[in-house]
Amino acid sequence: MNDETQDLEQYIDHPKWYGPSEGVMEQVRHSLLVDDASAITILIRSLHPADVAVIIENLSSDDRTRFIELVHDQLDPEILPEMYADVRAEILRHLSDEEIAEALVRLDSDDALSVLNELDEDHQKIVLQDLPEDQRLKLEQSLTYPEYSAGRLMQREMVVMRSNWTIQKTIDMLRAPKKSRFSFPETFYEIFIVSKDYKPVGKIALNSLFKYSENTTLQEIMDKDVKSIPLTMHQEDVGFLFRQYSFVTAPVVDYKGRLVGMITIDDVLTVMEEEATEDIMKLGGVGESDFHASTLNTTISRLRWLLVTFIDTLLASAVIYQFQGILEKKVALAILMPIVAAMGGNAGMQGVTVMVRALATHEFRTTRIWSIIGKELRVGLINGLVFASLLASIASFWFQDITLGLVLAAAMVFNIVWAALAGTGLPILLYRFGFDPAISSGPLLTTTTDVLGFAVFLGLATLVLG
């Protein structure tokens, strides 16, 4: 290993590039044990708010409470929007209304709203009363927009200019933001150009201001291809637009097309992570906040999904009960039948996973529905024939019964083909009827593959072997 490689590995492994090290975590835990607030303050002072959020998230519930009690007056408000929602809600319960209001004043409007969303309605009203009037009115209006909409995701602070302004006038305005109609954000990348009635007509990347002479007007250099986002658009659709068109920022407009805010890429990345996490968790039958939730909440969250599985197995057992006569005659059937159901269930979940992702990322188009289903049926048929041949050979050799092997093969082909059809069709059907395919497809698929798999296998066995 040469010196350059060793230097690179040291650079990659350096804890400051990848959040708080285990050493820092241990020092924080030790300081909590001895109530050393000054030591914790020194430890977190140089850390990024996101890294402090990681420290808090990785503490036990009791340690989080003690952490806030010791250093709550030293915490940067930017830590709050960096946390997972359930941890943030837990932290807010330990802060006074005045402390929450003080934190909101120091945050951008979109981050302030994400914190405010963790409070119940009565608590929100109390905290809002402690805010400056202009910020309070903005947040109150944002709370009227639908949950998970662009209106809840946007920030009010943005840079807005007129198309007839010169580059020199624009730079002067940027140096004196109090003269502008809107508050400027702490960080921005694009300037929005508006008409007299505040409808977005163009945008300019910030670096473009330094490419042209100071007398050039914004009209001459602005990009007129502006795709605005309606206030009521769902955040998942917002994420799709950013991915599709490689947006860095995008203007948000009201029902009259007037500019009311902007959405930035960092917020969209958070949304896309949340949406992807939600779908993955739902497919697994667990809550989206399962990792950081308390033991009781986690137990309750998983209990309902286990109940669905319990009911599914009861239905499958009821089907098996109907064929107890053939099972008593052919013990081999009891040994082999779980294979049919398991293979069908796994094949179906492959289809469900692909379709849920396609629906979530807008890759699915209704014009392709039959070609997609046709493809999945062909894949299911090929896989079914491959494993049917393999299993039939094993069963025939194992139990010295070719007929049993053929029955098993037929059931295997049927169940895998059905699983391919159901795994593709169920998410589409549920999506069409307004249900969440991620949360509903798995249980329905498992029920059908188990019940039908056992019914077909044992039914064929009764007809052929009984």
Token reading at 74: 């030293």
Domains and CATH numbers, the chain: 17-145 (1.25.60.10), 160-271 (3.10.580.10), 294-465 (1.10.357.20)
Residue 440 confidence (pLDDT): 62
Rounded Cα distance, 109 and 184, in Å: 11
Residue 394 CB-density burial (10 A; 0-12 exposed, 13-18 middle, 19+ buried): middle
Residue 12 confidence (pLDDT): 42
What b/e string do you get for 445-459 counting C-beta neighbours within 10 Å, with b at 16 or more?
Answer: bbbbbbbbbbbbbbb
Single pTM value for the model: 0.68
Rounded Cα distance, 307 and 317, in Å: 15
**Residue closest to 223 by CA, chosen among 246, 240, 244:** 246
Residue 2 confidence (pLDDT): 52
Token reading at 432: 């069409």
Residue 178 confidence (pLDDT): 57
> For helices 109-116 and 97-105, what crossing angle results, to 10°?
160
Q: Number of helices (H) and strands (E) in the chain: give both, helices first.
A: 22, 6
Residue 18 confidence (pLDDT): 66
What b/e string do you get for 28-59 counting C-beta neighbours within 10 Å, with b at 16 or more?
Answer: beebbeeebbebbeebbeebbbebbbbbbbbb
Contacts 24+ apart (CB under 8 A), 96-102: 97/123, 97/126, 97/127, 97/130, 98/130, 99/72, 100/127, 101/127, 101/128, 101/130, 101/131, 102/77
| DSSP 8-state assignment for residue 210 | G
Note the helical H segments in 288-401: 295-321, 324-329, 331-360, 369-399
pLDDT digit string, tens, across residues 270-326 = 888 777 777 676 666 665 555 666 677 777 767 777 787 788 788 888 888 888 888
Query: Which residues of the chain carry a pLDDT beneath 70?
Result: 1-18, 177-183, 279, 281-294, 301, 361, 367, 438-441, 466
**Residue closest to 184 by CA, chosen among 174, 194, 192:** 174
Rounded Cα distance, 332 and 343, in Å: 18
Residue 182 confidence (pLDDT): 52
Rounded Cα distance, 252 and 261, in Å: 5
Task: Please name the helix (run of DSSP H) or strand (run of DSSP E) that holds residue 96, with its range, or none.
Answer: none
Token reading at 71: 């250093």
Rounded Cα distance, 277 and 54, in Å: 18
The gap from C-alpha 309 to its chain's centroid, in whole angstroms, comes to 24
